[in-house]
Chain A
Amino acid sequence: MSTKDIIDTLAGIEPGSALDAIRAKRVQARDNAQKSYLSLFEPIDAGDFSLVERAAVAAFVIGLHGESPVAAFYRDKLAATADGAALLEAIKAEIARGKTSGPYGAYPAGPLSAEDKTGLIYRVSADRKPVLGARLVAALEHAHLLVFRPRDAAAADMKALLAAGWSETGIVTFSQLVAFLSFQVRVVTGLRVLGASLGRTANAVAGA
């Protein structure tokens, strides 16, 4: 593997630690979470979804989850991508506009309608559309939908992406990227919380 395990790095898991030993029992899950990261961010062929677009969408998606080592990682990734530094300020401003709490949205009309919950329908600000371009504007709006209100997704959202220049294959990779990040940031957060609790236990024993 050419890159250090991203989840271990972001969760602060040291080789030989208790969490390292637990993760080692799910070696296929661990290796393939890493391969998912690599195939999304270091693809064989970036073809339908450019590397700078991938980094911009990632910085936005993770930024919407709040500040964390994962957010800093993807901001740095965008800044390091060719043409990415120019987008970073616009992405940060859009994160600030798009932050809210989820999941919310509507169910198909019926008994679940009682659980419908309204919330922010995010649109990119008119000021930043020229900087981002039509493809990224559509991508950020769709990514926000996926992060906060996935149950609102409709066939029309696919049409909006296609109209903005996304191919069907590009939409699949884009959806995988947003959905994968939703997984990765949660695994990292969960493992960090668990790791911190183990640290406390260890300290308590040492102090006893």
Chain B
Amino acid sequence: MSAANTVNPPVAFTQDELGWVSWIDPLPEAELTERHFAGLVDRSRAKSEYFRLLVRDPEVLEARTKTDKDIFYNVADGLPRAERELAAAATSRYNGCIYCASVHARFASTYSKRRDDVQRLLDEGVGVDLGERWNAVVKASVALAATPIAFGPDNIEELRRAGLDDAEIVDVINGASFFNWANRLMLSLGEPSK
């Protein structure tokens, strides 16, 4: 077990850069083999405590990382990056993952240039009014994150009315769903630090 007594955890949602400290032992960098580096996908991730923990199961990590990259970075068509990041940030805000919300709120701000609106999502929560298109994305993300899942035909209609086509709606579904994966790892294996 890692010593977690040095953590200074954030107590509010923020767009600041946070650290993350694992509650169980990551693999030491010196012990990583080529199998582990394949799991990390990017060798630079060996510097991250989070990825050196997940690389204990390299096959799952590799598949998960490649899923993540395609859902968020493959913007040749479909939803603009800003709104994929908005779906991730809204999901993280609703599930309560301060770390994930900080990263993806920051990306949403960078790509949308709507930093104040993104901050209102963090400060006021997922019920905030951000205009028709963003409201539809946030509402769909939240409906997907609920257990039991509350996503239904009304969410599809709302996304269509806001101008999203079917491929863009699939990107909302993928982005929000993926953060139900990410949030649970970040929240349960360690904690953020300022």
Contacts and interface: CB of A to CB of B under 8 A. Distances in A.
Interface residues of A, number: 69
Contact of A28 (B23, B70, B169): B70
B180 A183 contact: yes
A180 to B, nearest CB: 6
A95 to B, nearest CB: 12
B25 interface: yes
A205 B28 CA distance: 60
A144 to B, nearest CB: 10
Interface string B10-21: 111100000000
A29 B66 CA distance: 7
Given A103-B95, A172-B54, A180 B156 contact: no
B188 A180 contact: no
Interface in B93-131: 94-98, 125
Contacts, number: 199
B156 A183 contact: no
A29 to B, nearest CB: 4
A155 B188 CA distance: 8
**Interface of chain B, main secondary structure:** helix
Contact of B12 (A18, A28, A65, A112): A112
Contacts of A193: 151-153, 155-156
Given A103-B147, A176-B54, A25 B78 contact: yes
B176 A186 contact: yes
A171 interface: yes
A101 B146 contact: yes
A64 B152 CA distance: 18
Given A28-B67, A33-B67, 11 more contacts: A19-B166, A22-B167, A25-B78, A26-B78, A101-B148, A109-B11, A173-B56, A176-B64, A180-B181, A187-B173, A190-B151
Interface of B: 1, 4, 9-13, 23-25, 53-54, 56-57, 59-64, 66-67, 69-71, 74, 76-78, 94-98, 125, 144-149, 151-153, 155-157, 166-167, 169-170, 173-174, 176-178, 180-185, 187-189, 191
